[in-house]
Structure 1
Amino acid sequence: MTAQATPKGTSTGTPKGAWTITFLLFLFMLVNFADKIVVGLAGGPIMDELKLSPEQFGFLGSSFFFLFSISAIVVGFIVNRIDTRWVLLAMAVIWSVAQFPMVGTVGFATLVICRIILGAGEGPAFAVAAHAIYKWFPDEKRTLPTAILSQGSAFGVILAVPALNWIIVNHSWHYAFGALGIVGLMWAAAWLVMGKEGPLVHTVTTAATDPRVPYLQLLTSRTFIGCVAATFGAYWALSLGLTWFTPFIVKGLGFSQTDAGWISVLPWVFGAAIVLLTGWISQVMLTRGYTTRGARGVLGSVPLIVGGLILAVLPYVNGAGWQIAFLVVGSGLCGSIYVVCPPMLGEFTPVQQRGAVIAIYGAIYTLAGMIAPFVMGAVIQNAAVPLDGYMSGFTINAVIMAASGLLGLLLLWPNTERKRLMAQAATQPKFA
């Protein structure tokens, strides 16, 4: 079996400066996920100070995603026409400004409003960053940069959690938000000076072999549906980790806030290893002649199924240490799918439509982030004891992860998708 050939008109060389841009966008995602994790990390102090119930705190976690998907879709179409350089800069400024109101005394309503604004600014982040990186790397070289980009999320948590938790413990959770606002502005300044638009977009856009495909066909293709389904399950686990992992450690297992800060790093360390390993294995498989069905589709789906099965065992494990280990490994395996789905969508989506398609994909699967934290909060609040509620919530997560992995395994066939879509588009009126 052979890997899909590189489309005509696509350069196989990597332009000078590509890895500098990759590093800057890695930092972009690092700040992005540090912004996301702070509410979950400060969950105990926030609930205590504002007198929030588990259901209210779940609503706070979900509020981040209220405009997340809508913003992702709107900005996805914008980056088809406007340079990603300026869009990325605008998003970083919005993130930073949205953090500063929390430095002072705030109520629940203000906190929710600021999280909604932050979510609107961060909704398009990964899609726009991936679209920007793909202007610097040809298709056969995109998996590793995508893995590095994804690692910004893990390292954002790994590096930020100890620092933010120190601020929370020794000063106040309010100042943790302010610190993130300052860091966001620092990234924006660096990007303004060093950020550039990739050169490969011009070559690919003008290629005669890359006509437009109706969006209806792109969005109903089995690989697009498979990516959405698989990543939905992964993001359910991710959003629970962002919102509920630290409260579970503190209020469910009885650890102190100081200890919970260090423990909260573990899922992201494991997830970082999984993502980098997936990117490396995928790249090696492609160079050895595997199709992208195997090197991306199967490689991303199977860990989801395994992770779901591990989480299903969690309620039957005794001891806090083992429970943390099963939770870390089970939820951490979902990271593989983030590495492989954007390149799979890039395989069959015309470059002039890629920003919108990746953004719509992100907008749909991140709906899990709006649902999962609130569901967990409701389950905890209605349980006889909090620990039972957490275990029931993780069981729901296990079922969703395993089911999403199975759907991915059935539907992800990117190596044949482009040929089929191009043939289908050639026989139908162009109405995209």
Structure 2
Amino acid sequence: MQTPKGAWTVAGMLFLYMLVNFADKAVVGLAAVPIMRELGLSPREYGLLGSSFFLLFSISGVLVGFAANRYSTRWIILLLATVWALAQFPMVGTVSFATLLICRVVLGAGEGPAGSVGLHAIYKWFPDEKRTIPTAILSQGAAVGVVVALPLLNMIIIHASWHWAFGTLGIVGLCWAFGWWLLGREGPIVDPPMPEAGALRVGYSRILLAPTFIGCVVACFGAYWALSLGLTWFTPFVVKALGFSQASAGFISTLPWLMGACTVMLSGWISQVLVARGVSSRAARAMLGCVPLIVGGLLVLAVPHVSDAAAKLALLVVGGGLTGPIYVVCAPMIAEFTPIAQRGAVIAIFGAIYTLAGIIAPYVSGSLIQGAATVLDGYQQGYMVSGSAQIIGGIAGLLLMWPARDRERIRQHRIATAPVGAVRGA
């Protein structure tokens, strides 16, 4: 199937959409030290602030995901981006911990559906065999958003204040929303991935209990534990535990994302080439996502066993960067066996479950840091938990991800339960 005209314009806009999305997420971690100093926050309180972003993240992801099955993704995305932008402006003035907490909860509610709705939107522009690279591009928006935004936001924090870092993101968010209003369109691809009984729905339990779906959830939960830890605690680790300045931390904090950008694009390209050559999705997607996740976890577990600060950073940069491929491959695998009429909700449920790691990880690490004998010990204990989560997720994914089998099971179920004549007419 040919890619429709205008597909890459929409892909480019959605790339920028994810760029803004992750810059919004990352700013609180970048500004962690001045925020903790100004508001007098303990590590546990700051961990609660990091976790608060994810309080409504999953719930809104599911609700908006179901709405995406019925309503235009163009207008849903416009509404979400507007919420993100407006949630930043209260931080420009004097702010209390409670206000900051509420604004992060609202921002999380607006950003919870972002990834799943963006994927659902972009899959309306690209057929199945051409989805891996667009998925990687969407994921790249996250990495590039952090790499581009962190040095600029750090300059604002140093030379103005952390308050104006939030305000700048609000202005950028409104500009993107206006651009999307002008250029965003709904994709024309509506044919279901399975020709037999194409119009028929499947019980959600059958999809959500498919081994591949469960494997994707567990693997991405482990990866997202690492990501949420990076968003919240990496910059404070660099400044407070390793002794770097805030100015240096702005650059250092981009390194895991640069590594992630490289692994995401490389894995996306390799996966799409393999699928085009007829390699099974099990090999071209599942293994390509899970093996790097396991290797990355092993590298993170080695952090306490090296003494040099540069070596610790190198292990965290590479180990964290190797989580990226799992996000590229899981959504296309789930889309292989999900009816298109249910895809928006299923991808949203998938995202809502694995991002629960974001509620747990920042607070757990904050508690470990506060209770440890030394600051460095506390951070390293947090990273030991994170590395273990990566390894467990990667192993579970290797054991459970068999997309071709799940596709065939669901196809047979749809045929068996179809009304007489429905399959033939589909």
Using the size of structure 1 for normalisation, the TM-score is 0.95
> Amino acid of the residue matched to residue 21 of structure 1?
V
Q: What residue in structure 1 maps to residue 217 of structure 2?
A: 228
1:218 and 1:224 in contact (8 A); partners too: yes
1:68 and 1:363 in contact (8 A); partners too: yes
- Which residues in structure 2 correspond to 1:12-23 (within 5 Å)? 12-23=1-12
Q: Where does structure 2 lack aligned partners over 5 or more consecutive residues?
A: 420-426
Q: What residue in structure 2 maps to residue 44 of structure 1?
A: 33
Question: Which of residues 240, 256, 262 is equivalent to 2:245?
Answer: 256
Q: Where does structure 1 lack aligned partners over 5 or more consecutive residues?
A: 1-11
1:204 is the counterpart of 2:192: yes
CA distance in 2, matches of 1:178, 1:230: 35
Q: CA deviation at 1:285?
A: 1.0
Q: What residue in structure 2 maps to residue 119 of structure 1?
A: 108
CA distance in 2, matches of 1:47, 1:30: 26
- Which residues in structure 2 correspond to 1:175-194 (within 5 Å)? 175-194=164-183
- Which residues in structure 2 correspond to 1:4-43 (within 5 Å)? 12-43=1-32
Question: Which of residues 322, 326, 348 is equivalent to 1:333?
Answer: 322
> Amino acid of the residue matched to residue 325 of structure 1?
A
1:353 is the counterpart of 2:353: no
Q: What residue in structure 1 maps to residue 123 of structure 2?
A: 134
Question: Which of residues 140, 145, 164 is equivalent to 1:156?
Answer: 145
> Amino acid of the residue matched to residue 403 of structure 1?
I
Report runs of 4+ in structure 1 exceeding 3 Å deviation.
203-209, 425-430
Q: What residue in structure 1 maps to residue 381 of structure 2?
A: 392
Q: What residue in structure 1 maps to residue 156 of structure 2?
A: 167
Q: What residue in structure 2 maps to residue 6 of structure 1?
A: none
CA distance in 2, matches of 1:396, 1:204: 40
> Amino acid of the residue matched to residue 339 of structure 1?
V
1:107 is the counterpart of 2:102: no
Question: Which of residues 375, 391, 409 is equivalent to 2:398?
Answer: 409
CA distance in 2, matches of 1:250, 1:429: 60
> Amino acid of the residue matched to residue 192 of structure 2?
V
Q: CA deviation at 1:425?
A: 4.0
> Amino acid of the residue matched to residue 383 of structure 2?
F
Q: CA deviation at 1:331?
A: 1.1
Q: CA deviation at 1:207?
A: 5.8
| Residue aligned with 2:302, SS | helix
Identical positions, percent: 61
1:73 is the counterpart of 2:62: yes
Structure 1 stretch 141-150 or stretch 209-218: which is displaced more?
209-218
Matched positions, count = 418
CA distance in 2, matches of 1:173, 1:241: 19
| Residue aligned with 1:235, SS | helix
| Residue aligned with 1:81, SS | coil
What do the CA deviations read for 1:207-228 (whole angstroms, capped 9, x no partner)? 6542211101001000100110
2:116 and 2:344 in contact (8 A); partners too: yes
What do the CA deviations read for 1:180-205 (whole angstroms, capped 9, x no partner)? 0000000000000110000012x439
CA distance in 1, matches of 2:289, 2:217: 12
Q: What residue in structure 1 maps to residue 424 of structure 2?
A: none
Q: What residue in structure 2 maps to residue 240 of structure 1?
A: 229
Relative to structure 1, is the Cα distance of residues 428 and 205 closer, same or farther in structure 2, using a 3 angstrom cutoff?
Answer: closer
Q: CA deviation at 1:284?
A: 1.3
What do the CA deviations read for 1:126-176 (whole angstroms, capped 9, x no partner)? 000000000000000000000000000000000000110000000000000
CA distance in 1, matches of 2:331, 2:12: 18
> Amino acid of the residue matched to residue 204 of structure 1?
P
CA distance in 2, matches of 1:109, 1:352: 40
> Amino acid of the residue matched to residue 295 of structure 2?
V
> Amino acid of the residue matched to residue 116 of structure 2?
A
1:84 is the counterpart of 2:92: no
Q: CA deviation at 1:401?
A: 0.6
- Which residues in structure 2 correspond to 1:289-300 (within 5 Å)? 289-300=278-289
> Amino acid of the residue matched to residue 380 of structure 2?
M
1:26 and 1:149 in contact (8 A); partners too: yes
Q: CA deviation at 1:289?
A: 1.8
1:307 and 1:331 in contact (8 A); partners too: yes
Using the size of structure 2 for normalisation, the TM-score is 0.97
CA distance in 1, matches of 2:68, 2:314: 41
Q: CA deviation at 1:341?
A: 0.5
What do the CA deviations read for 1:230-260 (whole angstroms, capped 9, x no partner)? 0000000000000000000000101000001
CA distance in 1, matches of 2:93, 2:197: 56
Q: CA deviation at 1:426?
A: 4.1
Structure 1 stretch 356-365 or stretch 279-288: which is displaced more?
279-288
CA distance in 2, matches of 1:232, 1:153: 17
1:214 and 1:425 in contact (8 A); partners too: no
Q: CA deviation at 1:286?
A: 1.1
CA distance in 2, matches of 1:128, 1:144: 17
What is the alpha-carbon root mean square deviation over aligned residues? 1.3
CA distance in 2, matches of 1:214, 1:246: 44
Q: What residue in structure 1 maps to residue 262 of structure 2?
A: 273
Q: What residue in structure 2 maps to residue 419 of structure 1?
A: 408
Question: Which of residues 68, 79, 87 is equivalent to 1:98?
Answer: 87
